[in-house]
Amino acid sequence: MAAAYGVLAAADKGCNPAPGLAHPRARPRAAIMRAGRRHMLLALGLLLLPLHRACAAPIRLLVLGDSLSSGYGLPHAESFEAQLQDALRAQGHDVQIIDGAVSGDTTADGRARLEWVLAGGADAALVELGANDGLRGVDPNDMRANLTAILDRLQTRHIPVLLSGMYAPPNLGSDYERRFRAVFDKLGQRPGVLYDPFFLQRVAEVPGLIQADGLHPNAKGVRVEVARLLPLVDQLLAEAHAA
């Protein structure tokens, strides 16, 4: 660059008109140097921008759930977590799904292993638990205590949360159904919590979307779940970006 500025200086000296005459194209050497520096900085910024994007860490999205989100009965590529990650990346999100979904888990199980799954860090969390509590007839008060502890811990760590709810099996009676349902509806009103009332909405009991066991979604059902939840997950990731 020093040689380039020397050439500019020599050219400037050789082309100057006689003293006292104003050349319409004359520019002070200092102005030329300032313009050159600006162009250099702009070029450097454009060169570094792709590098900055490449080095930016992906958003780590924890899915804390049970067999409904772990992909029970499905190849991994067709599971909820895999299809959700594919859908988010197709939208341009740089996301890494943290697999915290274990078949058979209750809210107590999710609470017990929360610290372990958070050991590597997380930027956002989708909590999908409660179906096995309902199948086992767990006291809704115990389920509330477990989910409250999970949400408390996530919010203490400033991790935005999407809570997805569940309905109790009808064979446990209307009173149990009402108390079970009230747990999710109440926790879904907590400040800072995004709420999806029913994880299996548009999928449960729909022919062609449920596996032969009548409980778990098939690959098509998972696609419906992902498409329905995508706007809420988009919002969750926006909150993670802002945090």
Asked if residue 106 lies in contact with residue 129, where contact means CB atoms within 8 angstroms, the answer is: yes
Q: What is the set of active-site residues? A: 67, 213, 216
Task: Tell me the CB-side half-sphere exposure of residue 44, using CA atoms within 13 A.
Answer: 6
Extended strands (E) in 46-123: 59-65, 95-101
Number of helices followed by number of strands (H, E) in the chain:
10, 5
Task: Report DSSP state, residue 76.
Answer: G
Extended strands (E) in the chain: 59-65, 95-101, 124-128, 161-164, 193-196
The span from the CA of 65 to the CA of 237, in Å, is: 18
* Strands 124-128 and 59-65, bridge-based pairing: parallel
Token duo for residue 119: 């050991």
Asked if residue 80 lies in contact with residue 67, where contact means CB atoms within 8 angstroms, the answer is: no
Task: Report DSSP state, residue 214.
Answer: S
